[in-house]
Structure 1
Amino acid sequence: MKFFKNYSLMLLPLLVLPFTSVLSLEEAYNRYDFPPEFVFGSGTSAYQVEGAADEDGRTPSIWDVFAHAGHGAAGDVACDQYHKYKEDVKLMKDIGLEAYRFSISWSRLLPSGRGPVNPKGLQYYNNLIDELITHGIDPHVTLHHFDLPQALQDEYGGWLSRESVRDFTAYADTCFKEFGDRVLHWTTLNEANVFALGGYDQGITPPGRCSPPFGLINCTKGNSSIEPYIAVHNMLLAHASVTNLYKKHYKYKQHGSVGISIYTYGTVPLTNSVEDKQATDRLNDFLIGWILHPLVFGDYPKTMRTRVGSRLPTFTADEAKQVKGAFDFFGVINYMAVYVKDNSSSQTQDLHDYNTDMALTMTLFGNTTFGSEHANTPWSLQQVLLYIKETYDNPPIYIAENGQTTPQTSSLEDTTRVRFLSSHIEAVLDSIRKGSNVKGYFQWSLMDLFELFRGYELSYGLYYVDFKDPYLKRYPKLSAHWYSSFLMGTLHLQCSHSVL
């Protein structure tokens, strides 16, 4: 199974009601067992919830163009948060969210990708941020969530060009100037690792580039052997540029922080063989180390250097100096676990891409299928947190996304999601007690929304959205009541002592 197939297997005012824990009655804990500065929230992204795709000066992003090229549903309307943001912030307040993670649509703020700011876009994000703060909700902002302006993709190939570093830095500078007096937590790029693989190796996400035999769609342009590595390299340089800009010009007066998020798996060798254990180590180097290793140590993992060879870009001495240490935190995105089996025979192929470079195969832990609940594997999240603690000098971490997918349904009794959240929050607490430097947890997602791989067929939300209703009415699910009770300290979870 190819890497990205695994990823795509995962992809009304609320009254606070009493809730009885579904876990066994052993040692009780609640929200106040977490450190005082720990933050709980929920998240969405611009293309998945905003809608208003061609309103008030917004221009297409690469996701707009990809969706309208026949790759499934589109986010033209989505949840219409652009017009309903006040209602949605009220929903956040009702359940007691302490923070909201959302992204800015680059092409809404800067329609040409650079140059003049769109006044309507600026007004919208100012209004959203102010509304959050008025209700005591901390804004956590992502600058790029799979939605590069199409204008820059057309002009110079987007992330395949070093020009992207310049334009992304200028875009971030605009955001820091306009919003940094109220926004203290910035994530530059969402899932740089998965974004590169989907968009430049397998072609199933924008900009839809790949080459035979690796693409999972009929790609007409691209080079799967080299483009994912080039894209990530430029994204790392852009991230470092933005982080260093913030540290030099904004941190002393705004006192915020800048990070980057990565997609992760919990991993289990399929067998106890040396080969499968080594393959598991390779997966961690290629998936996590691809992004974190340069930022912590100044270069890619040796495993990648050896296996990818000249196809893996190199940092100049000056670039390595700029990249190393260019972070305040890392965002961890985790939904599931995989079995890992060595597949060294793939190294004998004439053509290579990321998957053949890793030389392994993966199978979902628990035999879950797309559209059914994720296997409830809280140890997966804890394993990743402790791995980063031990491997990368225990950096500050936010759980940027964690949640469960189910088929989209009008039923509000999402008991499996409640079990998923309760067990994963327990895993986070246990990780903190074991020394992991975790600062916050963001459930994905606040409401049912446009999912990047299956449109409106799947659900992650605490709120059900009736997409057949012209007003897109929101309804709280059982998980929203549960999360609210937990956040307000009225719910005592029960430790199962079975996370690991």
Structure 2
Amino acid sequence: MNSNDTQFAAAASRAAFGPDFVWGSATSAAQIEGAGALDGKGPSIWDAFCREPGRINDASNIDVACDHYHRYRDDVALMKWLGLKAYRFSFAWPRVQPLGRGAWNEAGFAFYDRLIDSLLEAGIAPHATLYHWDLPLALHTQLGGWPSREIVPHFVDYAAEIARRFGDRLETIATLNEPWCVATLGYETAQFAPGQTNRAAAMQTSHHLLLSHGRAIKAMRAETRTKLGIVLNHTPAFPATELEADRRAARLDDGLNVRWYMDPVFRAQYPADVIEHLGADAPRIEPGDMADIAQPLDFLGVNFYTRSYISTQEPKVPAPGQQGFTDMGWEIYPKALTQHLVRITREYSPPPIYITENGMANADRIDADGRIPDAERIAYLREHLAALAKAVELGVDVRGYFYWSLLDNFEWNSGYVKRFGLFHVDYATQTRTAKDSAHWYRAFIEAQRVGHESPKA
């Protein structure tokens, strides 16, 4: 840390982040585990998607990924070195139940037993996600996947089994990660698995995801007392100009991305303006569904990366990008994090919030001396933590922050080209190397700890 960073860490410690604030990092099973067909694991829709020509930008797959399945102990040691007190990971549904229904795979459960034990031994609280996009392929080929209502009871059974087996050792369980991505990118734009282009199917998927979430929460309440919630990706929409067309378009974008998921979870209804916009593509809803979705939650996970800059003009007005863009082409705009957290607190009165993902892809390069100088990522981290501190000061109840991601990994349809990690991964050798941002985050977390220690007598 330079002097400015040290001053920022100390100020943040005093002003906003209390001694119990949780500092962590996050990953997901499909992106890091590898061991694709080992120990009884079944294939997922992403295994199949990777094998369809042209789907993945670098023509890669998830067979090996970061080999975390075999290297998890080393990766937990990296977390401990960082000073993390929490780690967010996901269970791979097809690893513990290869067909998504029927027999459980004890070898798969044993892996997560080992991982959770290693985390607890290192003093790191496990925060689990049940569904981070890797649907068992059999549920897609045999039942039709998420557009089919038949999938809901199978997800509920899976959730209850995880809660029964692991609930007493997990700090939190999130049902879903980013259902917007599952529905819209998977079933409407075809960017993600299973690669379909049907808006009606996408919207029906969104409803079945939310219904699965709500019913899973009810089932898990009977099995565990651990904190239960959901993780939503929020990309606040900003009109590019004051033109009425841009303002209407931004409102609709907000409706499809934010309100479509927040309103059912916290108000037991879908936004009327979006239902009207969808017309015949609006989902089929059965009596009792909305009440099932709107279950009381212990926490809300918010994934935040950027904002949407909405222009209806041709040519479109580009985002200003005064603080730059990430390697994904996403505008860096930390101010939106503060604004959005204040907004959703005011409008929805949610339970305590965790920032469950925040981070940037950067075109990292290894220097001749083996260093990985990623000043851009450090700036991104510093500015977003400052924005988060401001939100806390304004009264938002945020309990923790998880940087995405611990490791460079498989970035979905981008393959292995985009690097989000605090640790660089050489995919040929699986060597992990701490980037400068890892050293910065480690020092920041340590400054937080020291700043909250009681003075010695």
Query: Which of these residues, 116, 119, 122, is aligned with residue 103 of structure 2?
Result: 116
1:416 paired residue among 373, 376, 379:
376
Tell me the alpha carbon deviations over residues 139-163 of structure 1, each in whole angstroms, 9 at most, x when there is no partner. 1111111110001111111101111
In 2, are the aligned partners of 1:394 and 1:436 still within 8 Å (CA)?
A: no
Instruction: Say which is worse superposed, 319-328 or 128-137, in terms of deviation.
Output: 319-328
Residues 1:200 and 2:182 aligned together: no
- Partner residue in 2 for 1:294: 264
The 8 Å contact of residues 373 and 406 in structure 1, kept in 2 or not, is answered as: no
Tell me what 2:412 maps to: 452
What is the Cα deviation at residue 466 of structure 1? 1.1
Q: Hey, what's the Cα distance between the residues in 2 that align with 1:204 and 1:60?
A: 19
1:291 alignment partner AA: Y
**Is the CA contact (8 Å cut-off) linking 1:30 and 1:491 kept in structure 2?**
no
Residue in 1 aligned with 2:440? 482
The reply on whether 1:438 has 2:425 as its aligned counterpart is no
Counterpart of 2:133 (choices 134, 137, 146) is 146
Matched-pair contact (CA < 8 Å) for 2:179–2:209 = yes
Quote the offset at 1:395 in angstroms.
Answer: 3.2
Q: Look up the SS of the partner of 2:306 in the other structure.
A: strand
- Give unpaired runs (5+ residues) of structure 1: 1-18, 211-223, 346-360, 494-500
Offset, 1:65: 0.4
Give how far 1:302 is off.
1.2
Q: What corresponds to 2:147 in structure 1?
A: 160
Instruction: State whether residues 266 and 350 of structure 2, in contact with CA within 8 Å, keep that contact through their aligned partners in structure 1.
Output: no
Deviates more, 1:364-373 or 1:334-343: 364-373
- Say whether residues 1:74 and 2:56 are aligned partners: no
TM alignment of 1:219-298, pairs within 5 A: 224-247=198-221, 249-250=222-223, 254-298=224-268
CA distance in structure 2 between the aligned counterparts of 1:131 and 1:31, rounded to whole angstroms: 29
1:123 alignment partner AA: A
Quick check: 1:376 aligned with 2:350?
no
- After superposition, the C-alpha distances for 1:48-103 in whole angstroms (9 at most, x for unaligned) are 10011011111110000000112221111111000000000001001101111111
Whether the aligned pair in 1 keeps the contact of 2:328 and 2:418 (CA below 8 Å) is no
- TM-aligned CA deviation for residue 394 of structure 1: 3.7
Q: TM-score, normalised by structure 1?
A: 0.83
CA distance in 1, matches of 2:274, 2:128: 31
Distance 1:362 1:119 in 2: 54
Alpha-carbon distance, 1:372 to partner: 6.4
| Cα offsets for 1:99-157 (capped at 9, x unmatched) | 11111110001112122221211110000001001111011111111110001111111
Deviations 1:434-487 (A, max 9, x none): 111212111000011111131111111111111122xx1111111111111111
Change (3 A) 1:21 1:392: farther
For residue 336 of structure 1, report the CA deviation from its aligned partner: 1.3
Q: Secondary structure at the match of 1:204?
A: coil
- CA gap of 1:365–1:156, structure 2 versus 1, over 3 A, is farther
2:231 and 2:301 in contact (8 A); partners too: yes
Kindly indicate whether residue 321 of structure 2 is the aligned counterpart of residue 366 of structure 1. yes
Report the 3-state secondary structure (helix = DSSP H, G, I; strand = E; otherwise coil) of the residue aligned with 1:181.
Answer: helix
> What is the CA–CA distance in structure 1 between the aligned matches of 2:312 and 2:209, rounded to whole Å?
29
Q: Structure 1 residues 61, 274: closer, same or farther in 2, change over 3 A?
A: same
Q: Which residue of 1 aligns with 2:31?
A: 48
2-structure distance, mates of 1:263, 1:192: 8
Residues in 1 aligned to 2:416 and 2:402: alpha-carbon distance in whole angstroms: 21
- Give SS of 1:56's match: helix
TM-score normalised over the length of structure 2: 0.91
SS of corresponding position for 1:399: strand
Quote the Cα distance in structure 2 between the aligned partners of 1:24 and 1:486. 8
CA offset at residue 316 of structure 1?
Answer: 3.5
**Partner residue of 2:80?**
93
Partner SS, residue 79 of structure 1:
coil
- CA–CA distance in 2 between the matches of 1:461 and 1:193? 23
Number of equivalences: 440
Report the Cα distance in structure 1 between the residues aligned to 2:307 and 2:126, rounded to whole angstroms.
30
Query: Per-residue CA shift, 1:173-221, capped at 9, x if unaligned?
Result: 11011111101311111110111111110111101111xxxxxxxxxxx
Question: Shift of residue 305 of structure 1?
Answer: 1.7
One-letter amino acid of the structure 2 residue matched with residue 58 of structure 1: K
Which residue identity lines up with residue 404 of structure 2 in the other structure?
A: W
Q: How big is the shift at 1:424?
A: 0.6
- Going from structure 1 to structure 2, the CA distance change for 1:492 and 1:406 (only over 3 Å counts) comes to farther
**Within 2, Cα distance between the matches of 1:131 and 1:486?**
24
SS in 2 for 1:395: coil
Q: 1:492 to 1:133 in 2, by over 3 A?
A: closer
C-alpha contact (below 8 Å) 2:131/2:177 kept by paired residues: yes
Worse-matched range after superposition: 107-116 or 365-374 = 365-374
TM-superposed deviation, 1:281: 2.2
Among 414, 431, 451, which residue is 1:473 paired with?
A: 431
- Deviation, 1:166, is 0.6
Aligned residue number for residue 57 of structure 1: 40
Q: 1:237 to 1:207 in 2, by over 3 A?
A: same
Q: Percent identity?
A: 36
1:333-371: CA deviation from partner (whole Å, max 9, x where unpaired): 11112321247x9xxxxxxxxxxxxxxx78545186673
Following the alignment from structure 1 to structure 2, what is the Cα–Cα distance between the partners of residues 206 and 315? Answer: 24
Match of 1:133? 120
SS in structure 2 of the partner of residue 404 of structure 1: coil
CA contact (8 A) 1:60 1:150 kept: yes
Deviates more, 1:367-376 or 1:149-158: 367-376
Map of 1:397 onto structure 2: 353
Deviation track 1:210-245 (CA, whole Å, cap 9, x = no partner) reads 1xxxxxxxxxxxxx2301100001011100000111
Give, in whole Å, the separation in 1 of the partners of 2:18 and 2:219: 30
CA distance in 1 between partners of 2:44 and 2:134 (Å): 5
Pick from 157, 170, 173 the counterpart of residue 183 of structure 1.
170
What SS is found at the alignment partner of 2:376? helix
Judged with a 3 Å threshold, the aligned counterparts in structure 2 of structure 1 residues 22 and 404 are, in CA distance, closer, same or farther, namely farther
Q: Deviations over 1:2-40 (max 9, x none)?
A: xxxxxxxxxxxxxxxxx2255596894144641333211
Q: 3-state SS of the aligned residue for 1:484? A: helix
2:306 is aligned with what amino acid?
Answer: M
Structure 2 spans left out of the alignment, 5+ residues: 452-457
Evaluate the alpha carbon distance shift between residue 407 and residue 163 of structure 1 in structure 2; reply closer, same or farther with a 3 A threshold: same
